[in-house]
Amino acid sequence: AAEPLVLGIETSCDETGIGIVRGSTLLANVISSSMEEHARFGGVVPEIAARAHLEALGPAITAALAEAGVGLDEIDAVAVTSGPGLAGALMVGVGAAKALAVALDRPLYAVNHLVGHVGADVLRDDGTAIELPTVALLVSGGHTSLLLVRDLVSDVELLGETIDDAAGEAFDKVARLLGLPYPGGPQIDRAAVGGDPRSIRFPRGLSQAKDLERHRYDFSFSGLKTSVARWVEQKRDAGEAVPLADVAASFRESVADVLVAKAVAACLDLGVPRLLLGGGVVANARVRELAAERCAEAGIELRIPPLALCTDNGAMIAALGAQLIMAGHAPSGLGFSADSTLPV
Ligand code: KG4
Ligand code: ZN
């Protein structure tokens, strides 16, 4: 059979993503972000995100069809993120996907957002296919999860996740207390240039022997954030200047160190010589650098999809839908709901 032409819809957070793929070939990846509307609140406001999806979806679908050079009637199937994510935001995408599927009389596939990040890897155009099993580290403003992927569509295991803030959220919160604008990740990355990452020893969350017993693959960033806040406050109280580059570099080092250490530990523990990265925090220069260094040392193959496929997007959802179809899975029907805490 010909490879299926799938339209994917992603609305779990602040990005309205519409992607179109044919099998594992990327045809269109249109993203409309409401990031700017959230900036003055210092984080994503669910109600604003949902409303923005409602406004952006129609134009994004039109733009994606034009980019792919296909007509709506040619679409073989629709795939949509049904969770996890912001409930109201998810509902807008799920509603649109159902309407499309009914109108076109095509099958609809509900997919998991986190697994979608893993599925993005099949869209790389370097001709290499992902080998399985792989460990996947997914880090964004909304999630920080470590997964063991044995099969892209039917065997994904959650090894661990953050017990408080997501890594991107920690970047955003620390940027805010340093007086840097939202989103904070790129700001801190920039501010850290020239800073000494060893100048301040910020804590590594859930990395001490006692934590590792229960939380070997879990993450925690709220203690780190508090520690940075206290350090900066003490400087300010003492009337001293805050060395921005050193604070940014030291904070970034702590996050990168913990993320990479736990991901590499999982690979070694499980005997899986492959690590896939995904999520917006993968844009972080130090996270990429440290992952490359430690994976090379440990003999682990590191895979990082292009950034446009790492951040939230509809193409990865379409790609996962196509994988489901090609593996012979039944469609989801029209009775499913959005699930903000959908497990993998
Ligand atoms: O995947 P993404 O676009 O989607 C959402 O979570 O909505 O990730 C956005 C997150 C934000 O928290 C942002 O601060 C963080 O990724 N981020 C970064 C960098 N670029 C974006 N964090 C650290 N370093 C960066 N260079
Ligand atoms: Zn995501």
Question: Domain for residue 341, yes or no?
Answer: no
Rounded to 10 degrees, what is the CA torsion of 256, 257, 258, 260? 80
Give the ligand with the smallest distance to the CA of 251.
Answer: 1
Quickly state the pLDDT bin for 219 (edges 50, 70, 90).
Answer: very high
116 lies in which domain range?
5-124+309-326
Give the global pTM: 0.95
pLDDT at 43: 86
Q: What is the pLDDT of residue 108?
A: 98
| Mean pLDDT to the nearest integer, 204-224 | 96
185 and 273: one domain?
Answer: yes
pLDDT of 135 above 70: yes
Residue 292 in any domain: the answer is yes
Examine the domain organization and report whether 183 and 288 are in the same domain: yes
Q: Which atom of ligand 1 is nearest to the CA of 13?
A: 7
Confidence bin at 127 (pLDDT 50/70/90): confident
112 Rama sector, left if φ>0, alpha if ψ -120 to 50, beta otherwise = beta
The string of pLDDT tens digits covering residues 5-25 is 999 999 999 999 999 999 999
CA distance 228 to 242: 11
Name residues with Cβ closer than 5 Å to ligand 2, which is an ion: 140, 312
Nearest ligand atom owner, CA of 145 = 2
| pLDDT at residue 125 is higher than 90 | no
- The answer to whether the peptide bond before residue 84 is cis (omega within 30 degrees of 0) is yes
Q: Is residue 334 part of a domain?
A: no
- In a shared domain, residues 88 and 224: no
CATH of the domain at 38: 3.30.420.40
- Whether 174 maps to a domain, the answer reads yes
Residues 153 and 266 in one domain: yes
As for ligand 1, residues whose beta carbon falls within 6 Å of it are 13-14, 140-142, 168-169, 171-172, 183-186, 189, 279-281, 283-284, 311-312
d(CA 71, CA 147): 36
Residue 162 lies in a domain: yes
Looking at residue 1, its pLDDT comes to: 61
Mean pLDDT on 311-337: 97
185 assigned binding-site residue: yes
Average pLDDT, the chain: 96
Confidence class of residue 45 from pLDDT cuts 50, 70 and 90? very high
Ligand 1 centre and the CA of 278: distance in Å?
11
Q: What is the mean pLDDT of residues 264-271?
A: 98
Q: Is 30 helix (H, G, I), strand (E, B) or coil?
A: strand
Closest residue by Cα to atom 5, ligand 1, is 141
Same-domain check for residues 166 and 214: yes
> Is 218 annotated as a binding-site member?
no
Residues 25 and 139 in one domain: no
Q: What is the best residue among 171, 189, 286, 316 to mutate for testing ligand 1's pocket, by most ligand atoms within 8 Å of CB?
A: 171
**Token pair 């893993």 in the structure block, residue:** 118
Instruction: Give the chain's radius of gyration (CA, Å).
Output: 20
- For ligand 2, the distance from its centroid to the CA atom of residue 231, given in whole angstroms, is 31
- Please, are residues 97 and 9 in contact by the beta-carbon 8 Å criterion? yes
> Order of strands across the sheet with 301-303?
155-161, 144-151, 134-139, 274-278, 301-303
Asked if this assembly's ipTM is beyond 0.90, the reply is yes
DSSP 283: G
CA distances from 60 to 16, 302, 314 (A): 8, 32, 10
On whether both 275 and 159 belong to a single domain, the answer is yes
Residues 320 and 285 in one domain: no
Taking residues 112-119, report their average pLDDT.
96
Domain membership of residue 112 (yes or no) is yes
Going by CA atoms, what residue is nearest to atom 2 of ligand 1? 280
How far is the centre of ligand 2, averaged over its atoms, from the C-alpha of 43 (Å)?
A: 15
* Residue 67 neighbours by CB under 8 Å, 6+ apart: 20, 27, 28, 29, 30
- Residue 337 counted as domain residue: no
- Provide the domain count of the chain: 2
pLDDT above 90 for 129 = no
175 contacts 185 by C-beta, under 8 angstroms:
yes
Max distance between CA atoms of the chain, in angstroms, equals 71
Distance of CA 16 from the midpoint of ligand 1 (Å): 15
Is residue 70 within 8 A of residue 112, CB to CB? The reply is: no
Using the predicted structure, report yes or no on whether residue 284 has a pLDDT greater than 80. Answer: yes
pLDDT tens-place string over residues 145-204: 999 999 988 899 999 999 999 999 999 999 999 999 999 999 999 999 999 999 999 999
Cα 2 to averaged position of ligand 1 atoms, centre (Å): 36
171 and 113 share one domain: no
Query: Amino acid identity of 175?
Result: A
255: how many CB neighbours lie within 10 A of its CB? 29
Domain shared by 270 and 224, yes or no:
yes
> Is 344 domain-assigned?
no
Instruction: Tell me: do 173 and 199 sit in the same domain.
Output: yes
How confident is residue 126, by pLDDT bands cut at 50, 70 and 90? Answer: confident
pLDDT of residue 2: 83
CA distance 50 to 90: 8
Residues 205 and 70 in one domain: no
* Distance from C-alpha of 246 to C-alpha of 200, rounded to nearest angstrom: 7
